[in-house]
């Protein structure tokens, strides 16, 4: 007889860029969805953003982004919220699912990681663009040896600008039992 697998939900967020209001909304979503872990793919900017995750009913796992200059203060904040800051590259495993975490600052490194066969899922940020772009609000991931790249876009409030940097984003809820993910938009 096979083992009963428990449902595992993971939350994914990135590029919050010190937006306290949106981080609080994301935490409400993660708590409501009953996620066990939240993966933050970097660009907190301000260590106080990490402190907001004290309200999270899950463990925070994160990597550094290109706008995270206060590394010691970020590490201190992660320790205070009982989280885990993995540096520039991190990974996690759940049952037979291997997840890589990289902010995405170097497109070459990102592509190397995605093509390495080391991960089932690679969580990235940096571009502020939702990935995969063609999926819409929901998707599934096959266990066929390819790496699915998930990017929630920016967790920062949507803002018009000349460079159009803060137009796409929200959070992703990844359900490992059903091998599916869904995107939830933030304002």
Q: What are phi and psi of 121, to 5 degrees?
A: -135, 135
Task: Characterise 136 by phi-psi region: left (phi > 0), alpha (psi -120 to 50), beta (else).
Answer: left
Cα–Cα distance measured from residue 114 to residue 95, given in angstroms and rounded to the nearest whole number: 20
Domain layout of the chain by residue ranges: 9-185
Q: What are phi and psi of 117, to 5 degrees?
A: 80, 0
Quote the pLDDT of residue 157.
87
Cα–Cα distance measured from residue 166 to residue 58, given in angstroms and rounded to the nearest whole number: 27
3-class secondary-structure state, position 40: strand
Output DSSP code: residue 5: P
Contact indicator for 102, 64 with CB cutoff of 8 Å: no
Could you write out the three-class secondary structure of 150-174? EEEECCCCCECCCCCCECCEEEEEE
Q: What number of other Cβ atoms are within 10 A of residue 138's Cβ?
A: 10
Contact indicator for 155, 23 with CB cutoff of 8 Å: yes
The tens-digit pLDDT sequence of the chain (187 residues) is: 334 456 799 999 999 999 999 999 999 999 999 999 999 999 999 999 999 999 999 999 999 999 999 999 999 999 999 999 999 999 999 878 999 999 999 999 999 999 999 999 999 999 999 998 765 678 888 667 789 999 999 999 887 766 666 678 899 999 988 889 999 999 9
Quote the pLDDT of residue 164.
62
Query: Whose CA is closest to 120, among 142, 88, 102, 135?
Result: 142
CATH 3.40.50.150 assigned to domain 9-185? The reply is no
Quote the pLDDT of residue 167.
72
């Amino acid at each position: 007889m096979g083992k009963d697998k428990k449902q595992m939900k993971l939350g994914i967020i990135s590029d919050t860029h010190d937006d306290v209001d949106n981080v609080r909304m994301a935490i409400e979503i993660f708590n409501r969805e009953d996620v066990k872990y939240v993966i933050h793919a970097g660009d907190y900017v301000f260590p106080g953003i990490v402190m907001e995750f004290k309200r999270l009913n899950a463990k925070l796992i994160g990597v550094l982004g290109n706008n995270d200059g206060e590394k010691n203060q970020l590490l201190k904040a992660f320790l205070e919220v009982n989280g885990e800051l993995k540096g520039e590259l991190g990974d996690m495993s759940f049952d037979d699912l291997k997840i890589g975490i990289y902010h995405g600052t170097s497109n070459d490194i990102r592509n190397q990681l995605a093509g390495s066969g080391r991960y089932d899922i690679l969580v990235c940020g940096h571009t502020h663009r939702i990935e995969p772009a063609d999926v819409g609000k929901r998707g599934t991931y096959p266990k066929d040896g390819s790496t699915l790249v998930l990017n929630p876009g920016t967790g920062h409030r949507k803002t018009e600008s000349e460079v159009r940097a803060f137009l796409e984003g929200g959070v992703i809820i990844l359900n490992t039992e059903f091998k599916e993910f869904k995107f939830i938009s933030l304002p």
